[in-house]
Copies of this chain bind each other. A is one copy, B any other.
Amino acid sequence: MRKPTLEEVAIEAGVSKMTASRALRGSADVSKETRERVIEAATRMSYVGNRLALSLSSQRTNLVAVVVPSMSNIVFPEVLAGISAGLDGSGMQAVFGISDYDVAKERDIIRDMLSWQPCAIIVTGLDQPEETVKLLQHANIPVIQLMDLDGTPIDLNVGLSHGGAGEDMARALVGAGRRRFGYVGSALEKDLRAGKRKAGFERVLHSYGLHFVNQSVDDAFSSIALGKRLTLAMLAAVPDLDCIYYSNDDMASGGLFACMELGVAVPEKILIAGFNGLDLVNSLPAPIATSRSPRRAMGEVAAQLVRQAVAGAQDARQKTVVFKPVITGIDGYDDAPDEPETARLRP
């Protein structure tokens, strides 16, 4: 029992393939009566069109390929949700792939996705190796690099400067009077954006004649448990820190829990600073500093750009959309008007 084809529906309805096709797609020039007969037949036979044939024939697809490094960190699913929502109603459909922070796997996934002839592709970050860049360029479709701005974009670019985010946070913390800094991170050789934040943070520290008094970086991926463990160890070795910068909010939350366990006052004695602005942070028993990254919004904006570019707007290529993260959780700092995370265009 094979699935019915358009031809079978057409025969059932007593019309030609073409008329059936038009009726099903809601083309204007089909008599109401014919249309109803076709639709009735299709419904009765549980007809589902074959998109492979449709796309092959019409030379266009509704697929938007998306490649993210991980699903274990809530930030990427949030971006995907933004993309998916932003595509809603466009007739386009996002297809996701996971690279596990592995450049070779990323290349293979991108190659595989391109073979489905997507109408656009969205990848994470700007640090693809040359071979992958070539693949992307040869695809001849809009390419969006998402979440990061620190690098040279291929085509469209939507994100925030992680180096800048690290710098801003360092300035804010030094401005809040902190001087003895620790750093707790994880998987920096894989999560390049976390590395860029750290580098930016250190640039500013150095400009003030300061430095990380202690650093602890683990190979494992970030988690609350890891942040807690590394922080307990660090505070045992260097109890007199007054601020710890973490690779992200998961790690930072673990750091807070470590401080609570040790009876260290947060933020009075030690200020905890992370990155992302997770929902979690707003409910924690003590305030921690963070840069809010507009993850869902970045996904939605990327989806908008895809829609424009696919619609053929010629000015919808080679653009950069800049998001500016907002720092919260530092007393006397985030009194600044919480400006909406607006997107600025840079031609």
Q: Which of A2, A3, A253 has the most CB of B within 10 A?
A: A3
**Assembly of this chain: how many copies?**
2
Judge whether B3 and A138 touch: CB under 8 Å.
yes
Considering the complex, which residues of chain A in the window 104-127 have a beta carbon less than 8 Å from any beta carbon of chain B? 111-112, 114-117
Binary B-proximity of A91-104 (CB < 8 A = 1, otherwise 0): 00111111000000
Interface status of A49 (Cβ within 8 A of chain B): yes
Return chain B residues, CB-CB under 8 Å to A117: 50-52
Instruction: Contact check, B81 vs A228: say whether CB atoms are below 8 A apart.
Output: no
| A257 engages B284 (CB within 8 Å) | yes
Main secondary structure of the interface of A (DSSP, over half): helix
Measured CA separation A317–B135 after assembly (Å)? 39
Q: Is the CB of B55 within 8 A of A52?
A: yes
Contact, CB under 8 Å: A77 / B84: no
Interface extent on A, as a size class?
A: 35 or more
- Does A72 have its Cβ within 8 Å of any Cβ on chain B? yes
Residues in A131-159 with C-beta less than 8 Å from chain B: 134-135, 138-140
**Chain B residues with CB under 8 A of A94:** 96
What are the residues of chain B within 8 A of A2 when measuring CB–CB? Answer: 140
What residue of chain B has the Cβ atom nearest to residue A113's Cβ? B93
Query: Which residues in chain A, 253-292, are within 8 Å of chain B measured between CB atoms?
Result: 253-254, 257, 260-261, 279-280, 282-285
CB nearest neighbor in B for A2: B140
> In this assembly, does A71 line the interface, its C-beta being within 8 Å of a C-beta of chain B?
yes
Query: Which B residues lie within 8 Å of A225 (CB)?
Result: 279, 282-283
Point out the residues of chain B lying under 8 angstroms from A81, CB to CB.
70-72, 98
Quick check: B56 and A52 within 8 Å, CB to CB?
A: yes
- Complex contact A228–B283 (CB within 8 A): yes
Determine how close the nearest CB of chain B comes to the CB of A232; give it in whole angstroms. 11
Q: Is A27 an interface residue (CB 8 A)?
A: no
What are 21 of the A-B contact pairs (CB < 8 Å)?
Answer: A3-B138, A48-B114, A50-B56, A50-B115, A51-B115, A52-B116, A56-B56, A70-B81, A71-B77, A71-B78, A72-B77, A74-B74, A80-B96, A93-B97, A223-B279, A224-B280, A225-B279, A257-B283, A260-B285, A261-B285, A280-B280
| Given pairs A46-B134, A253-B280, 9 additional interface contacts (CB within 8 A) | A48-B115, A50-B115, A50-B117, A52-B56, A71-B84, A74-B74, A95-B96, A254-B283, A260-B285
